[in-house]
Amino acid sequence: MDRVRDDLPRARPRTLAVAGLIGVLAFVALAFFVDWNAIAHAFANAKPEFVLLALVFNAGVFFFKTRKWMELLRAHDLRPGFWQALRVLLGGFALGLVTPARAGELGRAFLLSEKRAQALVSVVVDRLIDVLLLGAMGIVAIAGLGWQSSAQSLSLAWAAAGLGGIMALAVAGFHPRAVKRWLPLVNRIVPAHVQARSKIHADELESGVAQSWQNRRAFAKAVGWGMLGWACSIGCGLALLAAFDIRLPLALAVLAIPAIGLVDAVPVSFSGIGTRELLLVGLFSTAGISTEATVAFSLAYFAIAYILSALAGVGWNLKHFARTKTSGAT
């Protein structure tokens, strides 16, 4: 088990600090312009029943995320049990929390410790599916805002064109011929020394992505589980909006969650800290929501959807490593 931990990607602290500096500076700058007493008052008056509902929805998020990843793993003849897959997924989520663009989630492949090249491909495909689903949800939500502003025809046309484009991009992007074009980007994300230690090579990644594409049934199931997972994410966000008595147009409330997800993918912050708050302040201000209420919602969402899940991943995996090391010593 020590070998597995030694093979985890080791990010350079200086690189991470520089990459996350923009988000940190944005949050610090915002902190000077908000009334923290008002934020504390918002937390004190949050409705506990809706906070509990948000926790339930967040549990659903990781249930469906695990099922989605398991389908992608099955495409490569990897069949971990549900609890093992959930433990590894939460461990990768924790690694992603402290790396820009959530690149640390690639660590799932190393925590799984079997067929790492295929497992790494499954994580890459998993993240690509998330980006596609986030884009689709964002287009639908923006179309909903357009519908509410009486731009029905244009709204429907834009939504149809956008969703059609995303579907075409998905089909084209996972085709074996397209893999050769975007695969070098993946190789840049995974450090060379990690590839060397783990014996993960470009040809293995290429064949792995092609295999994912060929197993259409597993891929379709993964997309379905992913849709349910993001539906739970939206439910978590709506529950927290209700907890803080923030009243938004439904389409704008739905738009907030994919917007948060897409901001997370930008490598200028750690899990969207700072950039997420600025984005939400801009979105919510269009509905007359105060900056303090928006920051309270953002911090609560970060605590429930990110911090609690990451702590669960760290604790569970450390306990697993300790138990495995103890059993190996005996």
Mean pLDDT value across residues 302-328? 87
Of the candidates 29, 24, 27, 42, which has an alpha carbon nearest to the alpha carbon of residue 292?
42
Mean pLDDT value across residues 198-208? 56
Of the candidates 286, 224, 281, which has an alpha carbon nearest to the alpha carbon of residue 251?
286
Number of domains in the chain: 1
pLDDT of 193 strictly over 70? no
Q: Show the domain range for 168.
A: 2-329
For the ranges 63-77, 170-184, 195-209, 252-266, the maximum mean pLDDT occurs at 63-77
Q: Is 150 left (phi over 0), alpha (psi -120 to 50) or beta?
A: left
Specify the pLDDT at position 6.
41
For the ranges 115-124, 282-291, 317-326, the maximum mean pLDDT occurs at 282-291
Mean pLDDT value across residues 208-229? 80
More confident residue, 39 or 185: 39
Decide if 242 contacts 233 (C-beta within 8 A). no
Buried b (16+ CB within 10 A) or exposed e, 34-51: beeeebeebeeebeeebb
pLDDT in tens, 58-70: 999 999 999 999 9
**Predicted model pTM:** 0.77
**Residue 87 pLDDT class (50, 70, 90 cuts):** very high
Mean pLDDT value across residues 203-218? 66
Tokens of residue 24, six digits: 């940190």
